[in-house]
Amino acid sequence: MKRDLVTVLDLKDELKDIIDLAIKMKAENKRGEDVASFKGKALALIFEKPSLRTRVSFEVGFNQLGGYALYLSPSEIQVGKRESVHDVAKVLSRFADVIMYRAFDHQNVLELARHAGVPVINGLDDIEHPCQAVADFMTMREVKGVLMGRTLAWVGDGNNVLHSLLLGAAILGMNVKAACPGGYRPRSDILDMALSIARGSGSRIEVMDDPIEAVTDADVVYADTFISMGDEAQKEERLRAFTGYQVNMGLFSRARSDAIFMHCLPAHRGEEVTDEVMDSPRSVVFQEAENRMHAQKAIMVRLAGFR
C-alpha cells in the first residue's frame, strides 16, 4: 500500500522509530556508509515556495542514497493552474519514484497524494511542515536523550511549524507551552487534535499569551519568523503584534540552565531572536538545519519500504 507524508499524523505509529532511524542513518553517513537505497530511482521536487534547506537537503540526501533528484521550479510546473493537480500527479508518477511538494495550499498536497501512484512528501504548506518537525525532534533527541516529559517552549506565530510540533510532541509525550499573541494562535482543529492525542500520551499542551510563562523552566526554546512567506504585506502589523515576543538573552535565561535554542530558519536576526541567542553555545540551529537531510532520508526510505 502506498504511503505518504502529508501531516505528522501520517507517522503517528512510528514517529519515534523514524527519529531513531534518522540518527542511525546520520551516523552511517558520517562513516561514509550510506546504503544506496534509491539506486536508479528518481525524486521529483515541486517548489511553489523557495527554500535553501528544503531543496539542498532533499537533493543531496537523495543523491547520497544513490538516486537522482529533479528540481521543478514554479515557472516550470504550476500545479492546479497550468495543469490540474490530478494530471500532475498521474504524469509525475510515471517518471518519479517519490514526489516532494512544497506548496502554498494544503488541499493541493492532499489532492496530489490522493492521485499519485508513488509516495508524496509534504515539504511545507500553509497548514503543516512535517519534515521540519521530524528533524526538530531528531535534534532534541540527539541533545536531550529521552523526549518524554521534556518541555518545548514556542514563542511567536501559531504557524505551520508549530502545528506540526504540537502534533508530534503530543505523539511523543512531550509538553508544549506556546506563547502566541491574540489573533496569531494555532488553528483550533490542530490544537484540538494535539490535545486529544496528549490525553493518551501523558503530555501537556498549553497555549498562552505570556512568553515569560512559556519559557520558564523549558528544556527547549523555539522561535520562528514573525513574517512567513506570503505575509509580507502584514509586516508592520505583525511587528506591532509581536512586540515583547523576541527571544533575547533575558527571556532565554528564564529557561532551564541547560535549555537549547532552536529555529527552523531563515532567521530575521534582531526581530524574533537576537544574535546573542542565535550564536550562543546553547543554540543548535545549524545542527537542526543539517538534520533536515538525515530526517528526510529516513522518511523517504521508510515510506518506500526499504527499512
CATH class in words for 8-129+292-303: alpha beta
Q: Which residues are catalytic?
A: 102, 129, 132, 224, 264, 292
Cell numbers 512567506 label which residue?
Answer: 229
**Alpha-carbon separation of residue 176 from 51, 122, 194, 215 (angstroms):** 27, 23, 10, 10
CATH 3.20.20.100 fits 132-288, yes or no: no
Q: How far apart are CA 74 and CA 83, in angstroms?
A: 12
pTM of the model: 0.97
Residues of the chain with CATH 3.40.50.1370: 8-129+292-303, 132-288
CA 3 to chain centre: 18
State which H helix or E strand residue 104 sits in. none
pLDDT tens for the 307 residues of the chain, in order: 899 999 999 999 999 999 999 999 999 999 999 999 999 999 999 999 889 999 999 999 999 999 999 999 887 877 757 788 999 999 999 999 999 999 999 999 999 999 999 999 999 999 999 999 999 999 999 999 999 999 999 999 999 999 999 999 999 999 999 999 999 999 999 999 999 999 999 999 999 999 999 999 999 999 999 987 667 778 889 999 999 999 999 999 999 999 999 999 999 999 999 999 999 999 999 999 999 999 999 999 999 988 8
C-alpha cell at 192: 484540538
Q: How far apart are CA 235 and CA 258, in angstroms?
A: 33
